């Protein structure tokens, strides 16, 4: 039983996926006094295993980038 280089392949695949995902755009909050529209919070979708892995992967990438940038 050997994984025979699966690590490099799966890493490349996940990296490509993470780069193709559109980043979340933060909408500016409207905070006027007379403003009647209230911002609706986006509900968190339950993560499947792939979503969980992608989230962990991107979080680790951000942490690594934070280390590199000081």
Partner 1 sequence: MAEDNNLFDAPIPGQSLTAEPGARPWQQPAQFPTVEEAFEFYVKRMTDPKINDSLFDALEMGTPVTAIAEIIVQSGVMEGKHTIDVSIQILPVIMELIAYLAEEMEIDYNMGMSNKIDQDIIPESKIALVVNKIKKQKPEEENEMPMVEPEAMPEEGEEPTGLMSRRM
Give the footprint of partner 1 on this chain (CB under 8 A): 1-8, 10-15, 19-20, 49-50, 52-53, 56-57, 60-61, 63-64, 67-68
30 or 63: CB nearest partner 1: 63
Q: Provide the 8-state DSSP code for 19.
A: H
Shortest distance (Å) from residue 40 CB to partner 1? 23
The Cα 40–Cα 25 span in angstroms is 15
Half-sphere exposure in the Cβ direction for 10 (13 Å, CA): 9
Query: Minimum distance between the CB of residue 56 and partner 1, rounded to whole angstroms?
Result: 5
């Amino acid at each position: 039983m050997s994984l025979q280089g699966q690590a490099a392949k799966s890493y490349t695949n996940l990296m490509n996926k993470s780069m193709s995902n559109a980043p979340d755009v933060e909408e500016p909050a409207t905070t006027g006094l007379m403003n009647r529209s209230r911002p609706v919070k986006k509900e968190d979708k339950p993560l499947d295993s792939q979503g969980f892995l992608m989230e962990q992967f991107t979080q680790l990438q951000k942490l690594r980038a934070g280390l590199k940038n000081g």
